[in-house]
Structure 1
Protein backbone atom coordinates (compact mmCIF):
# COMPACT_ATOMS: atom_id res chain seq x y z
CA UNK A 1 0.00 0.00 0.00
CA UNK A 2 2.85 2.37 0.84
CA UNK A 3 4.45 1.83 -2.58
CA UNK A 4 1.11 2.48 -4.27
CA UNK A 5 0.58 5.71 -2.30
CA UNK A 6 4.09 6.87 -3.15
CA UNK A 7 3.44 6.15 -6.85
CA UNK A 8 0.20 8.13 -6.76
CA UNK A 9 1.95 11.03 -5.01
CA UNK A 10 4.76 11.09 -7.60
CA UNK A 11 2.21 11.03 -10.43
CA UNK A 12 0.35 13.97 -8.90
CA UNK A 13 3.56 15.95 -8.47
CA UNK A 14 4.54 15.36 -12.10
CA UNK A 15 1.07 16.46 -13.23
CA UNK A 16 1.21 19.63 -11.14
CA UNK A 17 4.72 20.40 -12.38
CA UNK A 18 3.55 20.03 -15.98
CA UNK A 19 0.62 22.38 -15.39
CA UNK A 20 2.88 24.95 -13.75
CA UNK A 21 5.35 24.71 -16.62
CA UNK A 22 2.61 25.26 -19.23
CA UNK A 23 1.25 28.20 -17.26
CA UNK A 24 4.68 29.78 -16.93
CA UNK A 25 5.36 29.23 -20.63
CA UNK A 26 2.11 30.99 -21.61
CA UNK A 27 2.95 33.79 -19.22
CA UNK A 28 6.46 34.19 -20.65
CA UNK A 29 5.09 34.37 -24.22
CA UNK A 30 2.69 37.12 -23.20
CA UNK A 31 5.40 38.99 -21.27
CA UNK A 32 7.77 38.82 -24.22
CA UNK A 33 5.08 40.17 -26.56
CA UNK A 34 4.59 43.12 -24.22
CA UNK A 35 8.28 43.92 -23.66
CA UNK A 36 10.49 42.65 -26.50
CA UNK A 37 11.49 45.23 -29.14
CA UNK A 38 12.18 43.20 -32.28
CA UNK A 39 13.23 45.98 -34.66
CA UNK A 40 16.91 45.00 -34.60
CA UNK A 41 15.97 41.41 -35.52
CA UNK A 42 13.73 42.59 -38.36
CA UNK A 43 16.44 44.91 -39.63
CA UNK A 44 19.07 42.16 -39.44
CA UNK A 45 17.06 39.63 -41.45
CA UNK A 46 16.00 42.32 -43.92
CA UNK A 47 12.32 41.42 -44.00
CA UNK A 48 9.17 41.91 -41.98
CA UNK A 49 6.35 39.33 -41.92
CA UNK A 50 2.88 40.83 -42.26
CA UNK A 51 -0.25 38.80 -41.54
CA UNK A 52 -3.34 39.39 -43.66
CA UNK A 53 -6.62 38.04 -44.93
CA UNK A 54 -5.82 37.61 -48.63
CA UNK A 55 -9.48 37.96 -49.68
CA UNK A 56 -9.97 41.53 -48.40
CA UNK A 57 -10.36 43.56 -51.58
CA UNK A 58 -8.98 46.19 -52.08
CA UNK A 59 -6.68 46.15 -49.04
CA UNK A 60 -4.98 42.81 -49.74
CA UNK A 61 -6.14 40.09 -52.14
CA UNK A 62 -5.05 37.71 -54.88
CA UNK A 63 -5.57 38.34 -58.55
CA UNK A 64 -6.57 35.49 -60.88
CA UNK A 65 -2.89 34.72 -61.50
CA UNK A 66 -2.34 34.30 -57.74
CA UNK A 67 -0.38 37.52 -57.30
CA UNK A 68 -0.99 39.31 -54.00
CA UNK A 69 -2.01 42.93 -54.55
CA UNK A 70 -3.90 45.68 -52.76
CA UNK A 71 -3.80 49.08 -51.14
CA UNK A 72 -2.18 47.87 -47.92
CA UNK A 73 0.30 45.77 -49.92
CA UNK A 74 1.50 48.87 -51.78
CA UNK A 75 1.49 50.99 -48.64
CA UNK A 76 3.45 48.54 -46.47
CA UNK A 77 6.01 47.95 -49.22
CA UNK A 78 6.49 51.71 -49.64
CA UNK A 79 6.97 52.22 -45.88
CA UNK A 80 9.55 49.47 -45.40
CA UNK A 81 11.40 50.27 -48.63
CA UNK A 82 12.56 53.43 -46.86
CA UNK A 83 14.46 51.24 -44.39
CA UNK A 84 15.79 48.69 -46.88
CA UNK A 85 13.42 46.02 -45.55
CA UNK A 86 11.34 43.68 -47.68
CA UNK A 87 7.68 43.28 -46.74
CA UNK A 88 6.61 39.61 -46.83
CA UNK A 89 2.90 38.87 -46.60
CA UNK A 90 1.59 35.79 -44.79
CA UNK A 91 -2.09 34.79 -45.24
CA UNK A 92 -3.52 33.81 -41.85
CA UNK A 93 -6.75 32.66 -40.25
CA UNK A 94 -8.29 36.04 -39.42
CA UNK A 95 -9.90 34.58 -36.30
CA UNK A 96 -6.41 33.80 -34.97
CA UNK A 97 -4.65 37.04 -35.97
CA UNK A 98 -3.84 38.27 -32.44
CA UNK A 99 -2.61 34.80 -31.43
CA UNK A 100 -0.36 34.65 -34.52
CA UNK A 101 1.07 38.04 -33.57
CA UNK A 102 1.61 37.14 -29.92
CA UNK A 103 3.34 33.88 -30.86
CA UNK A 104 5.63 35.77 -33.27
CA UNK A 105 4.48 33.82 -36.31
CA UNK A 106 4.03 37.28 -37.84
CA UNK A 107 5.46 40.72 -37.00
CA UNK A 108 2.46 42.83 -37.98
CA UNK A 109 -1.23 42.75 -38.78
CA UNK A 110 -1.69 45.14 -41.70
CA UNK A 111 -4.88 44.53 -43.64
CA UNK A 112 -7.65 47.07 -43.13
CA UNK A 113 -7.23 46.43 -39.41
CA UNK A 114 -9.59 48.53 -37.29
CA UNK A 115 -8.55 50.20 -34.05
CA UNK A 116 -10.89 49.15 -31.23
CA UNK A 117 -10.68 49.46 -27.42
CA UNK A 118 -10.66 45.65 -27.08
CA UNK A 119 -7.78 45.28 -29.51
CA UNK A 120 -5.83 48.06 -27.79
CA UNK A 121 -5.75 45.89 -24.68
CA UNK A 122 -3.97 43.13 -26.60
CA UNK A 123 -1.61 45.01 -28.89
CA UNK A 124 -0.25 48.36 -30.07
CA UNK A 125 -1.29 50.30 -33.17
CA UNK A 126 0.53 52.52 -35.63
CA UNK A 127 -0.92 55.93 -36.30
CA UNK A 128 -4.24 55.58 -38.18
CA UNK A 129 -3.87 56.07 -41.92
CA UNK A 130 -7.39 55.58 -43.31
CA UNK A 131 -10.97 56.26 -42.25
CA UNK A 132 -13.60 53.61 -42.84
CA UNK A 133 -17.17 52.91 -41.80
CA UNK A 134 -19.64 50.06 -41.94
CA UNK A 135 -22.31 50.44 -44.63
CA UNK A 136 -25.26 48.38 -45.79
CA UNK A 137 -25.02 47.19 -49.40
CA UNK A 138 -28.22 46.06 -51.09
CA UNK A 139 -29.47 45.55 -54.63
CA UNK A 140 -31.25 48.65 -55.90
CA UNK A 141 -34.24 46.56 -56.99
CA UNK A 142 -34.89 45.62 -53.34
CA UNK A 143 -35.71 49.30 -52.66
CA UNK A 144 -34.02 49.22 -49.23
CA UNK A 145 -33.07 52.79 -48.36
CA UNK A 146 -32.43 52.53 -44.62
CA UNK A 147 -31.37 50.06 -41.94
CA UNK A 148 -35.06 49.73 -40.98
CA UNK A 149 -35.71 48.57 -44.52
CA UNK A 150 -34.01 45.28 -43.60
CA UNK A 151 -37.04 44.33 -41.47
CA UNK A 152 -37.48 40.55 -41.77
CA UNK A 153 -34.78 40.28 -44.43
CA UNK A 154 -31.52 38.29 -44.37
CA UNK A 155 -28.28 40.13 -43.63
CA UNK A 156 -24.75 38.93 -44.30
CA UNK A 157 -21.56 39.88 -42.44
CA UNK A 158 -17.98 38.63 -42.23
CA UNK A 159 -16.97 36.43 -39.30
CA UNK A 160 -14.95 38.32 -36.65
CA UNK A 161 -15.13 41.56 -38.63
CA UNK A 162 -15.61 44.98 -37.05
CA UNK A 163 -19.02 45.05 -38.72
CA UNK A 164 -20.08 41.86 -36.95
CA UNK A 165 -18.87 43.32 -33.66
CA UNK A 166 -20.80 46.58 -34.14
CA UNK A 167 -23.90 44.62 -35.08
CA UNK A 168 -23.80 42.84 -31.71
CA UNK A 169 -22.78 45.90 -29.70
CA UNK A 170 -25.62 48.06 -31.04
CA UNK A 171 -28.46 45.60 -31.83
CA UNK A 172 -31.22 48.22 -32.01
CA UNK A 173 -29.58 49.91 -34.99
CA UNK A 174 -29.78 46.95 -37.39
CA UNK A 175 -29.62 43.50 -35.79
CA UNK A 176 -33.10 43.67 -34.27
CA UNK A 177 -34.62 44.29 -37.69
CA UNK A 178 -33.12 41.36 -39.61
CA UNK A 179 -34.58 37.89 -40.00
CA UNK A 180 -34.10 35.86 -36.83
CA UNK A 181 -32.05 38.74 -35.41
CA UNK A 182 -29.02 36.78 -36.58
CA UNK A 183 -26.81 37.48 -39.62
CA UNK A 184 -25.42 34.91 -42.02
CA UNK A 185 -21.67 34.87 -41.36
CA UNK A 186 -19.09 34.44 -44.13
CA UNK A 187 -15.37 33.74 -44.14
CA UNK A 188 -14.88 36.27 -46.94
CA UNK A 189 -16.76 39.18 -48.46
CA UNK A 190 -16.41 37.62 -51.91
CA UNK A 191 -18.77 34.77 -51.00
CA UNK A 192 -21.15 37.17 -49.30
CA UNK A 193 -21.37 39.41 -52.37
CA UNK A 194 -22.07 36.41 -54.60
CA UNK A 195 -24.95 35.46 -52.31
CA UNK A 196 -26.20 39.06 -52.44
CA UNK A 197 -26.17 38.96 -56.24
CA UNK A 198 -28.02 35.61 -56.21
CA UNK A 199 -30.65 36.84 -53.74
CA UNK A 200 -29.74 34.44 -50.93
CA UNK A 201 -29.22 37.48 -48.70
CA UNK A 202 -30.84 40.87 -49.15
CA UNK A 203 -28.23 43.01 -47.42
CA UNK A 204 -24.55 42.95 -46.52
CA UNK A 205 -22.86 44.87 -43.71
CA UNK A 206 -19.45 45.69 -45.11
CA UNK A 207 -16.52 48.12 -45.00
CA UNK A 208 -17.14 51.21 -47.11
CA UNK A 209 -13.68 50.98 -48.71
CA UNK A 210 -14.43 47.49 -49.97
CA UNK A 211 -17.98 48.30 -51.00
CA UNK A 212 -16.92 51.33 -53.05
CA UNK A 213 -14.10 49.46 -54.77
CA UNK A 214 -16.21 46.40 -55.55
CA UNK A 215 -19.19 48.30 -56.92
CA UNK A 216 -16.98 50.54 -59.08
CA UNK A 217 -15.68 47.41 -60.85
CA UNK A 218 -19.11 45.99 -61.63
CA UNK A 219 -20.66 46.19 -65.10
CA UNK A 220 -23.67 48.01 -63.66
CA UNK A 221 -22.73 49.93 -60.50
CA UNK A 222 -26.23 51.41 -60.39
CA UNK A 223 -27.66 47.98 -59.54
CA UNK A 224 -26.24 48.38 -56.01
CA UNK A 225 -27.17 50.81 -53.27
CA UNK A 226 -24.91 51.84 -50.37
CA UNK A 227 -26.76 52.96 -47.26
CA UNK A 228 -25.02 54.65 -44.35
CA UNK A 229 -26.58 54.03 -40.98
CA UNK A 230 -25.65 55.36 -37.59
CA UNK A 231 -22.56 53.26 -36.92
CA UNK A 232 -19.53 55.29 -35.91
CA UNK A 233 -16.63 55.52 -38.32
CA UNK A 234 -13.48 53.53 -37.73
CA UNK A 235 -9.81 53.99 -38.45
CA UNK A 236 -7.40 51.54 -40.06
CA UNK A 237 -3.89 51.07 -38.65
CA UNK A 238 -1.15 48.45 -38.48
CA UNK A 239 -1.21 46.28 -35.35
CA UNK A 240 1.91 45.04 -33.56
CA UNK A 241 3.07 43.62 -30.23
CA UNK A 242 3.19 46.14 -27.38
CA UNK A 243 6.93 45.73 -27.02
CA UNK A 244 7.66 46.84 -30.60
CA UNK A 245 7.91 50.56 -29.90
CA UNK A 246 10.70 51.10 -32.46
CA UNK A 247 8.69 49.35 -35.15
CA UNK A 248 5.74 51.63 -34.42
CA UNK A 249 7.95 54.71 -34.64
CA UNK A 250 9.44 53.60 -37.96
CA UNK A 251 6.00 52.93 -39.47
CA UNK A 252 4.60 56.26 -38.24
CA UNK A 253 7.57 58.17 -39.63
CA UNK A 254 7.42 56.23 -42.90
CA UNK A 255 3.73 57.00 -43.42
CA UNK A 256 4.31 60.72 -42.87
CA UNK A 257 7.23 60.69 -45.31
CA UNK A 258 5.02 59.10 -47.98
CA UNK A 259 2.44 61.86 -47.44
CA UNK A 260 5.12 64.56 -47.66
CA UNK A 261 6.50 63.22 -50.94
CA UNK A 262 3.09 62.65 -52.57
CA UNK A 263 3.56 58.87 -52.76
CA UNK A 264 0.68 58.26 -50.33
CA UNK A 265 -1.67 60.32 -52.50
CA UNK A 266 -0.56 58.36 -55.59
CA UNK A 267 -1.35 55.04 -53.89
CA UNK A 268 -4.74 56.39 -52.78
CA UNK A 269 -5.65 57.43 -56.33
CA UNK A 270 -4.56 54.06 -57.71
CA UNK A 271 -7.01 52.14 -55.53
CA UNK A 272 -9.81 54.58 -54.76
CA UNK A 273 -9.76 57.16 -57.54
CA UNK A 274 -11.13 60.49 -56.34
CA UNK A 275 -12.41 59.00 -53.09
CA UNK A 276 -9.86 60.02 -50.47
CA UNK A 277 -10.24 58.51 -46.99
CA UNK A 278 -6.65 59.20 -45.97
CA UNK A 279 -6.03 60.49 -42.44
CA UNK A 280 -2.44 61.56 -43.07
CA UNK A 281 -1.81 64.91 -44.72
CA UNK A 282 1.52 66.36 -45.92
CA UNK A 283 3.40 68.32 -43.26
CA UNK A 284 3.24 72.08 -43.74
Structure 2
Protein backbone atom coordinates (compact mmCIF):
# COMPACT_ATOMS: atom_id res chain seq x y z
CA UNK A 1 0.00 0.00 0.00
CA UNK A 2 2.87 2.36 0.79
CA UNK A 3 4.36 1.70 -2.66
CA UNK A 4 1.04 2.45 -4.33
CA UNK A 5 0.69 5.59 -2.24
CA UNK A 6 4.18 6.74 -3.14
CA UNK A 7 3.43 6.04 -6.81
CA UNK A 8 0.36 8.23 -6.68
CA UNK A 9 2.33 11.02 -5.03
CA UNK A 10 4.98 10.82 -7.77
CA UNK A 11 2.33 10.87 -10.51
CA UNK A 12 0.62 13.83 -8.89
CA UNK A 13 3.93 15.63 -8.76
CA UNK A 14 4.56 14.95 -12.45
CA UNK A 15 1.15 16.29 -13.40
CA UNK A 16 1.68 19.36 -11.22
CA UNK A 17 5.07 20.08 -12.78
CA UNK A 18 3.60 19.56 -16.23
CA UNK A 19 0.84 22.03 -15.50
CA UNK A 20 3.33 24.53 -14.16
CA UNK A 21 5.44 23.99 -17.26
CA UNK A 22 2.52 24.80 -19.54
CA UNK A 23 1.68 27.86 -17.48
CA UNK A 24 5.27 29.07 -17.61
CA UNK A 25 5.38 28.41 -21.36
CA UNK A 26 2.27 30.54 -21.88
CA UNK A 27 3.81 33.34 -19.84
CA UNK A 28 7.08 33.05 -21.79
CA UNK A 29 5.24 33.19 -25.12
CA UNK A 30 3.57 36.47 -24.18
CA UNK A 31 6.74 37.91 -22.64
CA UNK A 32 8.62 38.21 -25.92
CA UNK A 33 8.20 39.85 -29.31
CA UNK A 34 5.75 37.58 -31.14
CA UNK A 35 6.31 38.80 -34.71
CA UNK A 36 8.58 35.86 -35.64
CA UNK A 37 5.89 33.40 -34.52
CA UNK A 38 3.12 35.28 -36.33
CA UNK A 39 5.21 35.46 -39.49
CA UNK A 40 6.02 31.74 -39.29
CA UNK A 41 2.44 30.61 -38.57
CA UNK A 42 1.00 33.09 -41.07
CA UNK A 43 -1.85 33.92 -38.67
CA UNK A 44 -2.64 36.69 -36.20
CA UNK A 45 -5.59 36.94 -33.80
CA UNK A 46 -7.40 40.23 -33.29
CA UNK A 47 -9.81 40.78 -30.40
CA UNK A 48 -12.92 42.87 -30.98
CA UNK A 49 -16.38 43.76 -29.72
CA UNK A 50 -18.44 42.29 -32.56
CA UNK A 51 -21.31 44.72 -32.01
CA UNK A 52 -19.31 47.92 -32.56
CA UNK A 53 -20.61 49.27 -35.86
CA UNK A 54 -19.14 50.28 -38.21
CA UNK A 55 -15.65 49.36 -36.95
CA UNK A 56 -16.06 45.61 -36.42
CA UNK A 57 -19.37 43.77 -36.13
CA UNK A 58 -21.42 40.80 -37.28
CA UNK A 59 -23.68 41.52 -40.24
CA UNK A 60 -27.09 39.93 -40.78
CA UNK A 61 -25.48 36.76 -42.12
CA UNK A 62 -23.25 36.44 -39.06
CA UNK A 63 -20.08 37.45 -40.91
CA UNK A 64 -17.65 39.76 -39.10
CA UNK A 65 -17.15 42.89 -41.15
CA UNK A 66 -16.51 46.61 -40.76
CA UNK A 67 -13.96 49.36 -41.33
CA UNK A 68 -11.35 48.02 -38.91
CA UNK A 69 -11.88 44.47 -40.16
CA UNK A 70 -11.19 45.44 -43.78
CA UNK A 71 -8.27 47.63 -42.74
CA UNK A 72 -6.67 44.83 -40.72
CA UNK A 73 -7.07 42.33 -43.57
CA UNK A 74 -5.54 44.78 -46.05
CA UNK A 75 -2.49 45.42 -43.86
CA UNK A 76 -1.80 41.79 -43.07
CA UNK A 77 -2.35 40.83 -46.72
CA UNK A 78 0.80 42.88 -47.35
CA UNK A 79 2.66 40.37 -45.19
CA UNK A 80 0.86 37.24 -46.39
CA UNK A 81 -0.76 36.74 -42.98
CA UNK A 82 -4.32 35.58 -42.31
CA UNK A 83 -6.34 37.41 -39.66
CA UNK A 84 -8.53 35.57 -37.16
CA UNK A 85 -11.11 37.85 -35.53
CA UNK A 86 -11.96 36.83 -31.97
CA UNK A 87 -15.06 38.35 -30.30
CA UNK A 88 -14.25 39.22 -26.68
CA UNK A 89 -15.79 40.82 -23.62
CA UNK A 90 -14.66 44.41 -24.23
CA UNK A 91 -14.22 45.08 -20.52
CA UNK A 92 -11.61 42.26 -20.46
CA UNK A 93 -9.68 43.28 -23.59
CA UNK A 94 -6.34 44.08 -21.95
CA UNK A 95 -6.52 40.88 -19.90
CA UNK A 96 -7.17 38.83 -23.04
CA UNK A 97 -4.17 40.49 -24.67
CA UNK A 98 -1.86 39.87 -21.73
CA UNK A 99 -2.98 36.23 -21.43
CA UNK A 100 -2.16 35.61 -25.08
CA UNK A 101 -5.73 34.79 -26.10
CA UNK A 102 -5.42 37.54 -28.72
CA UNK A 103 -2.44 39.27 -30.35
CA UNK A 104 -4.02 42.68 -30.89
CA UNK A 105 -6.90 44.88 -29.75
CA UNK A 106 -8.29 46.48 -32.89
CA UNK A 107 -11.87 47.75 -32.85
CA UNK A 108 -12.25 51.50 -32.43
CA UNK A 109 -9.75 51.33 -29.55
CA UNK A 110 -9.11 54.83 -28.22
CA UNK A 111 -5.70 55.91 -27.00
CA UNK A 112 -5.57 57.40 -23.50
CA UNK A 113 -3.00 57.62 -20.67
CA UNK A 114 -4.56 54.79 -18.64
CA UNK A 115 -4.41 52.39 -21.57
CA UNK A 116 -0.91 53.47 -22.55
CA UNK A 117 0.26 52.02 -19.24
CA UNK A 118 -1.10 48.61 -20.25
CA UNK A 119 -0.50 48.30 -23.99
CA UNK A 120 1.83 49.39 -26.77
CA UNK A 121 -0.09 51.50 -29.28
CA UNK A 122 0.46 51.92 -33.00
CA UNK A 123 0.35 55.36 -34.54
CA UNK A 124 -3.22 56.72 -34.57
CA UNK A 125 -5.20 56.06 -37.74
CA UNK A 126 -8.52 57.83 -37.07
CA UNK A 127 -10.02 60.55 -34.89
CA UNK A 128 -13.08 60.10 -32.70
CA UNK A 129 -14.89 61.84 -29.86
CA UNK A 130 -17.34 60.97 -27.13
CA UNK A 131 -20.82 62.39 -27.64
CA UNK A 132 -24.11 62.39 -25.78
CA UNK A 133 -27.07 60.88 -27.65
CA UNK A 134 -30.58 61.73 -26.51
CA UNK A 135 -34.09 61.48 -27.94
CA UNK A 136 -35.32 64.87 -29.20
CA UNK A 137 -38.52 64.42 -27.21
CA UNK A 138 -36.47 64.51 -23.98
CA UNK A 139 -35.55 68.17 -24.57
CA UNK A 140 -31.93 67.54 -23.60
CA UNK A 141 -29.67 69.73 -25.72
CA UNK A 142 -26.48 70.12 -23.66
CA UNK A 143 -24.46 68.06 -21.21
CA UNK A 144 -25.74 70.27 -18.38
CA UNK A 145 -29.31 69.27 -19.23
CA UNK A 146 -28.44 65.78 -17.95
CA UNK A 147 -28.72 67.01 -14.34
CA UNK A 148 -30.46 64.26 -12.31
CA UNK A 149 -31.06 62.32 -15.53
CA UNK A 150 -30.16 58.67 -16.15
CA UNK A 151 -27.05 58.13 -18.24
CA UNK A 152 -25.88 54.98 -20.00
CA UNK A 153 -22.38 53.93 -21.13
CA UNK A 154 -20.54 50.82 -22.27
CA UNK A 155 -18.53 48.98 -19.65
CA UNK A 156 -14.81 49.27 -20.37
CA UNK A 157 -15.28 52.02 -22.96
CA UNK A 158 -13.11 55.11 -23.25
CA UNK A 159 -16.28 57.14 -22.76
CA UNK A 160 -16.84 55.64 -19.32
CA UNK A 161 -13.18 56.18 -18.48
CA UNK A 162 -13.56 59.87 -19.35
CA UNK A 163 -16.78 59.96 -17.34
CA UNK A 164 -14.98 58.72 -14.22
CA UNK A 165 -11.73 60.68 -14.62
CA UNK A 166 -13.44 63.98 -15.45
CA UNK A 167 -16.39 63.93 -13.03
CA UNK A 168 -17.13 67.64 -13.40
CA UNK A 169 -18.39 67.10 -16.96
CA UNK A 170 -21.20 64.59 -16.29
CA UNK A 171 -20.58 62.33 -13.32
CA UNK A 172 -21.23 65.03 -10.71
CA UNK A 173 -24.62 65.97 -12.16
CA UNK A 174 -26.31 62.78 -13.44
CA UNK A 175 -28.64 60.65 -11.32
CA UNK A 176 -26.78 58.61 -8.68
CA UNK A 177 -23.50 60.17 -9.89
CA UNK A 178 -22.92 57.13 -12.09
CA UNK A 179 -23.94 55.58 -15.39
CA UNK A 180 -25.87 52.41 -16.13
CA UNK A 181 -23.31 50.11 -17.76
CA UNK A 182 -23.95 47.84 -20.74
CA UNK A 183 -21.98 45.07 -22.37
CA UNK A 184 -22.51 46.66 -25.79
CA UNK A 185 -23.84 49.88 -27.27
CA UNK A 186 -26.59 47.97 -29.07
CA UNK A 187 -27.98 46.95 -25.66
CA UNK A 188 -27.69 50.53 -24.46
CA UNK A 189 -29.62 51.85 -27.45
CA UNK A 190 -32.51 49.52 -26.63
CA UNK A 191 -32.80 51.14 -23.20
CA UNK A 192 -32.39 54.63 -24.67
CA UNK A 193 -35.19 54.02 -27.16
CA UNK A 194 -37.46 52.63 -24.44
CA UNK A 195 -36.78 55.56 -22.10
CA UNK A 196 -35.03 53.56 -19.37
CA UNK A 197 -32.09 55.93 -19.74
CA UNK A 198 -32.24 59.58 -20.81
CA UNK A 199 -28.87 59.87 -22.50
CA UNK A 200 -26.09 57.66 -23.81
CA UNK A 201 -22.37 58.50 -23.72
CA UNK A 202 -20.98 56.92 -26.85
CA UNK A 203 -18.39 57.06 -29.63
CA UNK A 204 -19.49 59.52 -32.30
CA UNK A 205 -18.57 57.11 -35.08
CA UNK A 206 -20.93 54.48 -33.64
CA UNK A 207 -23.78 56.93 -32.99
CA UNK A 208 -23.74 58.35 -36.52
CA UNK A 209 -23.60 54.96 -38.19
CA UNK A 210 -26.18 53.24 -35.98
CA UNK A 211 -28.80 55.98 -36.18
CA UNK A 212 -28.32 56.51 -39.91
CA UNK A 213 -28.48 52.83 -40.77
CA UNK A 214 -31.62 52.37 -38.66
CA UNK A 215 -33.35 55.43 -40.12
CA UNK A 216 -33.56 57.16 -36.72
CA UNK A 217 -31.10 60.01 -37.16
CA UNK A 218 -33.96 62.56 -37.20
CA UNK A 219 -35.34 61.33 -33.87
CA UNK A 220 -32.19 61.88 -31.84
CA UNK A 221 -29.68 64.57 -31.00
CA UNK A 222 -25.96 63.87 -31.17
CA UNK A 223 -24.47 66.41 -28.78
CA UNK A 224 -20.77 67.10 -29.25
CA UNK A 225 -19.18 66.71 -25.90
CA UNK A 226 -16.99 68.49 -23.48
CA UNK A 227 -14.36 65.75 -23.50
CA UNK A 228 -11.22 66.02 -25.61
CA UNK A 229 -11.21 64.33 -29.01
CA UNK A 230 -9.61 60.88 -29.18
CA UNK A 231 -7.47 58.88 -31.56
CA UNK A 232 -8.16 55.30 -32.56
CA UNK A 233 -5.08 53.05 -32.62
CA UNK A 234 -4.23 49.36 -32.42
CA UNK A 235 -3.14 47.95 -29.05
CA UNK A 236 -0.42 45.30 -28.68
CA UNK A 237 1.53 43.82 -25.80
CA UNK A 238 4.39 45.98 -24.53
CA UNK A 239 6.88 43.39 -25.83
CA UNK A 240 5.57 43.46 -29.40
CA UNK A 241 7.51 46.41 -30.81
CA UNK A 242 8.21 44.63 -34.11
CA UNK A 243 4.53 43.86 -34.62
CA UNK A 244 3.64 47.50 -33.96
CA UNK A 245 6.37 48.67 -36.37
CA UNK A 246 4.95 46.37 -39.06
CA UNK A 247 1.46 47.79 -38.51
CA UNK A 248 2.70 51.38 -38.68
CA UNK A 249 4.48 50.56 -41.92
CA UNK A 250 1.27 48.92 -43.17
CA UNK A 251 -0.79 52.03 -42.41
CA UNK A 252 1.69 54.15 -44.39
CA UNK A 253 1.53 51.77 -47.34
CA UNK A 254 -2.27 51.76 -47.46
CA UNK A 255 -2.41 55.54 -47.19
CA UNK A 256 0.09 55.97 -50.02
CA UNK A 257 -1.47 53.45 -52.42
CA UNK A 258 -5.04 54.69 -51.84
CA UNK A 259 -6.38 51.56 -50.15
CA UNK A 260 -7.00 53.35 -46.85
CA UNK A 261 -9.03 56.08 -48.58
CA UNK A 262 -11.01 53.47 -50.53
CA UNK A 263 -11.98 51.51 -47.39
CA UNK A 264 -12.71 54.74 -45.53
CA UNK A 265 -14.97 56.06 -48.27
CA UNK A 266 -16.91 52.79 -48.27
CA UNK A 267 -17.75 53.01 -44.57
CA UNK A 268 -17.80 56.76 -43.87
CA UNK A 269 -18.17 58.48 -47.22
CA UNK A 270 -14.88 60.33 -46.68
CA UNK A 271 -11.20 59.83 -45.95
CA UNK A 272 -10.79 59.70 -42.17
CA UNK A 273 -7.00 59.70 -42.07
CA UNK A 274 -5.99 61.76 -38.97
CA UNK A 275 -4.08 64.28 -41.09
CA UNK A 276 -7.18 64.99 -43.19
Question: Is the structural similarity TM-score above 0.5?
Answer: yes
2:220 alignment partner, one of 211, 217, 224? 224
Aligned partners of 1:53 and 1:61 also within 8 Å: yes
Question: How far apart are 1:230 and its partner, in Å?
Answer: 1.2
Give me the TM-score of the superposition, normalised by structure 1.
Answer: 0.85
Residue 65 of structure 1 is matched in structure 2 by 61
Are residues 1:118 and 2:114 paired? yes
Aligned partners of 1:259 and 1:280 also within 8 Å: no
Residue 203 of structure 2 is matched in structure 1 by 207
Residue 98 of structure 2 is matched in structure 1 by 102
Note the alpha carbon deviations across 1:52-90, whole angstroms, 9 max, x for none: 111111111111211111111001001000011011101
Residue 73 of structure 2 is matched in structure 1 by 77
Query: How many pairs align?
Result: 257
Residue 235 of structure 2 is matched in structure 1 by 239
User: Secondary structure of 1:175's match?
Assistant: coil
- CA–CA separation in structure 2 for the residues paired with 1:198 and 1:206: 17
With over 3 angstroms needed to count, the CA separation of the structure-2 counterparts of 1:165 and 1:144, relative to structure 1, is same
Of 120-129 and 217-226, deviating more is 217-226
Question: How far apart are 1:278 and its partner, in Å?
Answer: 2.2
- CA–CA separation in structure 2 for the residues paired with 1:201 and 1:242: 38
Question: How far apart are 1:280 and its partner, in Å?
Answer: 5.3
Question: How far apart are 1:200 and its partner, in Å?
Answer: 1.1
2:274 alignment partner, one of 266, 275, 279? 279
Note the alpha carbon deviations across 1:127-150, whole angstroms, 9 max, x for none: 110111100001112121100111
Aligned partners of 1:129 and 1:236 also within 8 Å: yes
User: Secondary structure of 2:186's match?
Assistant: helix
Residue 130 of structure 2 is matched in structure 1 by 134
- CA–CA separation in structure 1 for the residues paired with 2:225 and 2:46: 32
Question: How far apart are 1:229 and its partner, in Å?
Answer: 2.1
Aligned partners of 2:208 and 2:217 also within 8 Å: no
Question: How far apart are 1:220 and its partner, in Å?
Answer: 3.6
Question: How far apart are 1:95 and its partner, in Å?
Answer: 2.0
Give me the TM-score of the superposition, normalised by structure 2.
Answer: 0.88
Aligned partners of 2:171 and 2:177 also within 8 Å: yes
- CA–CA separation in structure 2 for the residues paired with 1:123 and 1:152: 36
Of 177-186 and 129-138, deviating more is 177-186
Structure 1, unaligned runs of 5 or more: 1-17
Structure 2, unaligned runs of 5 or more: 1-15
Note the alpha carbon deviations across 1:154-207, whole angstroms, 9 max, x for none: 110001111111111111111122111121110000011111111111100000
